[in-house]
Amino acid sequence: MGELHVFFFPLMAQGHMIPTLDMAKLFASRGVKATIITTPLNQPVFTKTIDKYTQLGFQMEIRLLEFPAVEVGLPEDCHSVDKVPSPESLPSFFKACAMLQEPLEQILQELRPDCLVADLFFPWATKAAAKFDIPRLIFHGSSYLALCAANSLRTHKPFNDVSSDSELFTIPNLPHELKLTRLQISPEEMRKRVWEPQDKCYGEIYNSFYELERDFEEHYRNVMGIRTWSIGPLSLHNRDVEDKAQRGKKSTIDELECLKWLDSKNPHSVVYICFGSVANFAPSQLHEMAMGIEASGMDFVWVIRNKREEDNGSEKWMPEGFEERTKGKGLVIRGWAPQVLILDHEAVGAFVTHCGWNSTLEAVCAGVPMVTWPLLNDQFYNEKLATEILRIGIRVGSNEWKGSDSDGVKREAIAEAIKKVMIGEESEEMRSRAKAMKDKAKKAIEEGGSSYLDLGSLLDELRAFHAKH
């Protein structure tokens, strides 16, 4: 029987392509031929790594599909979510994605892979794979907790039982008590059904590991009855400095320069601040953030990546003299930063994060406690995992989905949360819990670990499926 051939088709967004590349490398390291499907303008995200791994003897390749941006009225170079001009154009972007079904079917027919791992945001991929009797796995790119919570909200609609937007309600039927307000859930979750469990698909793959959110994984499998495999944390498969530095876009800072700066600092003395690839703060909020970071008195690495028109990169919001006053204490990186490399450095003592799932996992893998500042999507759920269940984070007090410009987080709250995690009386305990979880993460992907075994059982099952068909 020949080796398995698996297709990987991520949503064109940094937060989806990066873990998918890690996943393809992982499958290839277990003897699978891995083909990544993407569009020409996203090819550079994958090329360097795939060339490197092919030279090492792994079977990896890229297949390209033309992206019909112009046909749906988007700019020609709009091939990824981070390039979408405004939230209003997102539906057009997804319409263009859906137009990839036919070209995908042509390539499935031509290459007949044994499995298609396609992003949650491509529900039409299940149908495409079914035409050729190819099992389709969904890659969620999110946590079990988030999916369980979203499903409960959709089923029970507890947000209808509260009288105001800021009143807390309990999300029913979960293994742990979690409370949210209406302001913290996406408008879509109130209006229509998102994250619909997709029946007819073969199962789902999670970038998580059993020890991290055991109760929610079991709830998802046993109560919701969905077949899943946990194969994470995927970021841990980047072993060397080069691998860690090359994830995603080209860093705007030389990684060695960045490491040298961190080397000059004491252990756990630096706070790292970064909000992923899609966060977009109002200038007034960025000003408060700068004031809060400075008031905390801590050394810091701050990644600023803002795309607001009214600011236009001029950074008028930056407090006067901020960079002069914090010289030596602070490193400001504009653009993309080598995040895993920074988090893994022993000088880093806390991570101010939007709680995107990739960032949350990277903090867990580095054993770094978090200051949580969720903005949208599943981030308010992931915050609960960090602060209430794992108890390795402190909330900064962000209370509103896509927080409105007027009601931002104040500098005092920012400074206080940073100090609490870095030097407060709970900080030592939080750090030791984070370190313990880091050890469990490493064990999960090693031979005999929970994620290692889960992937093994998935591959065995795909081989058996292939042998029968």
The pLDDT, as a whole number, for residue 203 is 94
Distance CA 362, CA 75 (A): 33
State how far the alpha carbon of 271 is from the alpha carbons of 305, 323, 367, in Å.
Answer: 17, 16, 13
Classify the phi-psi angles of 13: left when phi > 0, otherwise alpha if psi is within -120 to 50, otherwise beta: beta
Q: What are the residue numbers of the active site?
A: 16, 119
Distance CA 404, CA 461 (A): 47
**Contact indicator for 141, 129 with CB cutoff of 8 Å:** no
Question: What's the full length of the chain, in residues?
Answer: 469
Phi/psi at 253 (5° precision): -130, 145
The pLDDT, as a whole number, for residue 194 is 46
For residue 284, give the 3-state DSSP assignment. Answer: helix
The pLDDT, as a whole number, for residue 250 is 64
Domains 5-156+194-237+443-468 and 248-442 share a fold: yes
Mean pLDDT in order along the chain per 10 residues (469 residues) = 88 92 96 97 94 94 96 94 87 95 98 96 93 95 93 89 91 94 75 53 95 97 92 85 64 78 96 87 90 97 73 78 92 88 96 96 97 92 96 92 66 96 93 98 97 97 90
The pLDDT, as a whole number, for residue 62 is 97
Closest Cα partner for 141 from 206, 214, 238, 45?
206
Distance CA 290, CA 286 (A): 6
Domain ranges of the chain: 5-156+194-237+443-468, 248-442
Cβ of 332: how many Cβ atoms within 10 Å?
18
Q: Choose which CATH entry (3.40.50.300, 3.40.50.2000, 3.40.30.10, 3.20.20.60) describes domain 248-442.
A: 3.40.50.2000
Question: Taking CA 54 as the corner, what is the angle to CA 259 and CA 438, rounded to the nearest 5 degrees?
Answer: 40
- Helices 357-366 and 427-445: crossing angle in degrees, nearest 10, is 100
Q: Which fold has domain 5-156+194-237+443-468?
A: Rossmann fold (3.40.50)
